[in-house]
Structure 1
């Protein structure tokens, strides 16, 4: 069985508040804005964050970048969403910065996450930054490799921390994993949480206690 090497593209910590501020918006005043202004602020901020992801993706390829590797074209992607800035999530068997593991068309998926929960969670957590890990997995000879890899990531996380990442709802593709993976595939799980100063977890009264389904 051939081994597929994983080399993540990774953004630095991205603060939704800082991105909005660079665009001329103060998210501390977001709640008092009219509905149409809120929609505009959200859209422009999300667009800018996606742009930063696209830059990190392109930079990860360096001189080997070609049009076929364009961020918007990737359909066999796997990604990890994590918090940063000294924060981690408290899980049953330890703490981790990882909040979600997913797969698919990464540009569309990550935009969906930004719109559906990351933007609003940023408002609640007041400027906690997020990091994004992204990779394309497999080719025409191994079209299901990215599904296997997502399943492996979720399984590995559950074994290490005792439960799924906070925002995950489905547990990836069940069944036998038909591919092997090498390289730095475990990098999002590096125990950076040892340096974290805060461990957080939503209470059952908090709407973020619900699990998020990646459509």
Structure 2
């Protein structure tokens, strides 16, 4: 296996300052819409990077559940590794990779918990099995076997029937962006990179060398 010989020439599109939106949120919405329209597999999947008290970074893939002027929202177990790390260091980085479109979006900023009523509303909209699963899984903890999860699911299903409430350890996070980067693959590795950063409450758009 010669991994060093694997290469691809990126030639699908370009990202120009004159064609990109001055507002990174609108630019993100445009690219997300194009990814959905192109039927990219799981266009809503994003990598979340956090850093613990020991300085070690960790990543995982989650699904974005909403975005607006306030930030990017996803839901998870607050007691998971990412939850514990965010409690210590409330900053994170997100990354979307739409490989079919040869595009990457990176977002950095401070993370806060969403309002309880927003978490309640989203939890109530989830399929029943997913709501039971939020109770059954002690996320990121060591368990003896899968049988533990199955037994927990059966226990909570019997206890809550069709109306499991939102667990106190489960809810939403919102990343409030202070930096965005839009990456478009280009030929000869001369990729387009546009970064947006907050400066005095206004977004500054600048090109980065690839």
Q: Normalized against structure 2, the TM-score is what?
A: 0.25
Structure with higher RCO (Cα < 8 A, 6+ apart): 1
Give the TM-score taking structure 1 as reference length: 0.25
* Structure number having the greater strand percentage: 2
Write 1 or 2 for the structure with the bigger share of helix. 1
Larger Rg: 2
